Amino acid sequence: MEGRAIGELLYVYAVVPASARLAPEPTGIGAAPVRLIQEGLIAAAVSPVPAAEFDDEPLNRLMRDMDWLAPRATAHQTVNAALFERVDALLPLSFGAVYRGAGGVRRMLRERRAELLGRLDAVRGRSEWVATLQRDAERAGPAAEADDEELARLNAEIGTAQPGRAYLLRRRLEEARRAALTRLDRAATEALAQGLADVVERTHPEPIVQTTPDAPLARSSLLVHRAREGALVERGADFARRWEARGYALRLTGPWPPYRFGGEPLERGDATAI
């Protein structure tokens, strides 16, 4: 079986254009050298991995073992980061795409040729950034209250109300404060989106569960042309200047390989493919 060693499988890190060159070769999982398997205009970056760990049954079990998973996931990301610096288009795969031999990898590339070429075109010359919007409630609360007419009216009415009515008004005041903060959150989020709109080509919002006070207000992955990365950073700094005093901070990280926009998973556990 072509490309198959006894006790070994082929681990696929990413799909790249066939014109890609890996010299010097990145080092993959288990310090194995990464090579390309080409099929027409596209290629897969692969390295051998032990079947005792990466065949279907052991892989499904070991994926729950963080001590086992962490270094291998780090190696996966390190390979894709190295590829990202060497090629103009990259489809980084999710962790765990495994094949029994080069023939199975070539068949996957051949059967999905049109789709993969389209996805490569969509991310060519582009990177992924992550924008995280954080709110400091101690500063954002007063900022939300500063210009809110209803809150000003309720505060004034509480000052002259009888104790029973003052109690009810204070409850309404807390509700109004929460509503004002929600409106300011929305304004900050919309201002950020508008400020980045002309430098961001695609956006992938992440679901945020507000279970703790320090949870992010919003987080999104951004697809950005590499020539526009400087403009993205400038827009982020401009947002920070305008909103920091009101309690909103923006964190931009990148550039990364386009996992969210190009790296949709191929079928994991296709280790039956030869």
Does pLDDT of 167 surpass 70?
Answer: no
Q: How many CB atoms lie within 10 A of CB 264?
A: 13
pTM over 0.85: no
In this structure, what DSSP letter does residue 41 have? T
The boundaries of the domain holding residue 189 are 127-259
In this structure, what DSSP letter does residue 145 have? H
Helices (DSSP H) in 197-249: which residue ranges?
A: 229-243
Residue with more model confidence, 148 or 191: 191
Residue 51: predicted pLDDT: 95
In this structure, what DSSP letter does residue 33 have? B
> Is residue 272 one of the residues assigned to a domain?
no
Residue 263: predicted pLDDT: 67
**What residues form DSSP beta bridges with 131?**
220, 252
Mean pLDDT of the chain: 87
C-alpha 117/C-alpha 3 separation (Å) is: 24
Given pLDDT bands bounded at 50, 70 and 90, which one contains residue 193?
very high
Given pLDDT bands bounded at 50, 70 and 90, which one contains residue 172?
confident
Residues 250 and 156 in one domain: yes
Domain count, the chain: 2
Provide mean pLDDT across the span 109-130. Answer: 95
Tens-place pLDDT, residues 217-263:
899 999 999 999 999 999 999 999 999 999 999 999 999 999 998 86
> Is residue 187 one of the residues assigned to a domain?
yes
Tens-place pLDDT, residues 32-84:
999 999 999 999 999 999 999 999 999 999 999 999 999 999 999 999 999 99
Residues 220 and 236 in one domain: yes
Cβ–Cβ < 8 Å for 217, 135? yes
Cβ–Cβ < 8 Å for 42, 108? no
In this structure, what DSSP letter does residue 101 have? S
Residues 202 and 120 in one domain: no
In Å, how far from its chain's centre is CA 210?
19
Residues 6+ apart with CB under 8 A from 72: 29, 95
Residue 267: predicted pLDDT: 44
Provide mean pLDDT across the span 121-135. Answer: 95
Tens-place pLDDT, residues 130-156:
999 999 988 887 887 776 777 767 666
Residue 70: predicted pLDDT: 97
Residues 138 and 250 in one domain: yes
Residues 170 and 235 in one domain: yes
Residues 131 and 250 in one domain: yes
